[in-house]
């Protein structure tokens, strides 16, 4: 109990939040990160390794870890689980063929003990494309309603236009804040 109080206080002082962004390759993780940070998104290459960005948002310091989603990199995801406050799962809403892969990867992540305390935000990305599935269909396909172990939310967004990115992150940060920081 004592240790938890100290940890809470330390975190509160810095208001620092660690977010881990994962998803299949080509989901748009790096694009979301760069768009959110106001950088050019037209030259993004498939992530070989990972990107870290520290963003200031609503008085919080967000450390966002964007890890590549290629098959050969997925086994390294586990190296980033430690002390994650929020998990951002990015889905390519237009890639119908791999939605089942996407579901499996997500559900196996949620069994991870080190992610047990993390809030889950699912970004149904690429909503700007005419062929994309609405967030509601993605919710069903990924069987999100079966998740009882984590706080979660799915939100349709577009990294290209920037739609709903802020709303998603806002929800994630406030959910984490209400768990970790004593609200002022």
**Which chain residues interact with another protein by CB under 8 A?**
25-26, 42-46, 48, 70-73, 94-97, 99-100, 111, 113, 116, 129-131, 133-134, 136-137, 140-141, 143, 145-146, 149
- Cα 138 to chain centroid, rounded: 15
Residue whose CB is less far from another protein, 134 or 182: 134
Q: Shortest distance, CB of residue 183 to another protein, whole angstroms? A: 27
Active site residue 70: yes
H or E element that contains 128: none
Instruction: Please state the residue numbers annotated as binding site.
Output: 23-30, 47, 69, 125-128
Residue whose CB is less far from another protein, 136 or 170: 136
158-178 core/surface letters (b: 16 or more CB in 10 A; e: else)? bbbeeebbeebbebbbebbbe
d(CA 54, CA 86): 14
Helix (H, G, I), strand (E, B) or coil at 179: helix
Q: Shortest distance, CB of residue 178 to another protein, whole angstroms? A: 22
12-49 core/surface letters (b: 16 or more CB in 10 A; e: else)? eeebebbbbbbbbbbbbbbbbbbbbeeeebeebeebee
Instruction: Please state the residue numbers annotated as binding site for GTP.
Output: 23-30, 69, 125-128
Catalytic residue among 12, 70, 140, 167: 70
Residue whose CB is less far from another protein, 101 or 170: 101
Residue whose CB is less far from another protein, 26 or 63: 26
How do the residues of the chain divide into helix, strand and coil, expressed in percent and rounded to 5?
A: 40, 25, 35
Q: Shortest distance, CB of residue 125 to another protein, whole angstroms? A: 11
Q: Shortest distance, CB of residue 127 to another protein, whole angstroms? A: 12
Q: Provide the annotated active-site residues.
A: 70
């Amino acid at each position: 109990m004592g240790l938890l109080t100290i940890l809470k206080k330390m975190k509160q002082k810095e208001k620092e939040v660690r977010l881990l962004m994962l998803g299949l390759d080509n989901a748009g993780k790096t694009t979301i990160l760069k768009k959110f940070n106001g950088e050019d998104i037209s030259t993004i290459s498939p992530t070989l390794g990972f990107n870290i960005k520290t963003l200031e948002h609503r008085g919080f310091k967000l450390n966002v870890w964007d890890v590549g989603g290629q098959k050969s990199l997925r086994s390294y995801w586990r190296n980033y689980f430690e002390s994650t406050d929020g998990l951002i799962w990015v889905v390519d809403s237009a890639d119908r063929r791999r939605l089942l892969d996407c579901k499996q990867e997500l559900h196996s992540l949620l069994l991870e003990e080190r992610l047990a305390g993390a809030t889950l935000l699912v970004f149904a990305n690429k909503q700007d494309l005419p062929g994309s599935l609405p967030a509601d269909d993605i919710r069903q396909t990924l069987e999100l309603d079966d998740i009882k172990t984590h706080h979660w939310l799915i939100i349709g967004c577009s990294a290209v236009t920037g739609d709903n990115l802020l709303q998603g992150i806002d929800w994630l940060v406030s959910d984490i804040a209400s768990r970790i920081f004593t609200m002022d």
